[in-house]
Amino acid sequence: MLPKGEIDYFLRAKKYAFLLLKFRLRSEKEIAERLKQKKFPEQAIKETVVFLKERKFIDDVAFTKAWVSSRLRRPFGLRKIKQELAQKGIAKEIIHDALAQAKEHYNESQIVSQLAQPRFSKLKGIEPLKAKARVYGYLMRRGFSPDVIMEVIRDIGKGSSF
């Protein structure tokens, strides 16, 4: 337990953490980092994180499932989602399990094709090689597999003026 003088820090840290959680789910690392940015003492941060975990206000597994679901609706590639989750401090095993579960209902080739076709339409007046490079870059930034992107670009290129 915290010394009497630090109870105030704990209460303020807890209040700030609840404010953050009001807007969206957060990972354990995100909460700790945000509290650190606000210059809360290390002990108050630890106590706050433990308090939130014990009461299921922060749960990295639930956060990961929600994050993956949200990002797949946008749509982003699994590589980008994996990178984002790692940056948020999620354990590799949790990321692996969530992405393995997501792959069951995920057709990357179809999604890449759906994103690439409108992009090519917007780039009709541009030299074909430049258009392909732009679409490739766009899809890579969204985290899709380079092999799948190249396959889709080749397929689209066969059926059009590209």
Classify domain 108-158 at the CATH class level: mainly alpha
Q: What is the pTM of this model?
A: 0.85
Which of 33, 102, 22, 104 lies closest to 70 in space, CA to CA? 102
pLDDT for residue 111? 96
Quick one: 145 exposed, middle or buried, by C-beta within 10 A (0-12, 13-18, 19+)?
A: middle
CATH of region 4-58, choose from 3.10.180.10, 1.10.10.10, 3.30.420.40, 3.30.1280.10: 1.10.10.10
Domains 4-58 and 108-158 equal at CATH topology level: yes
pLDDT for residue 157? 74
Residue 4, pLDDT above cutoff 80: no
Domain boundaries, the chain: 4-58, 61-103, 108-158
| pLDDT higher at 33 or 105 | 33
pLDDT for residue 66? 96
Residue 53, pLDDT above cutoff 80: yes
DSSP string, 27-56: -HHHHHHHHHHTT--HHHHHHHHHHHHHTT
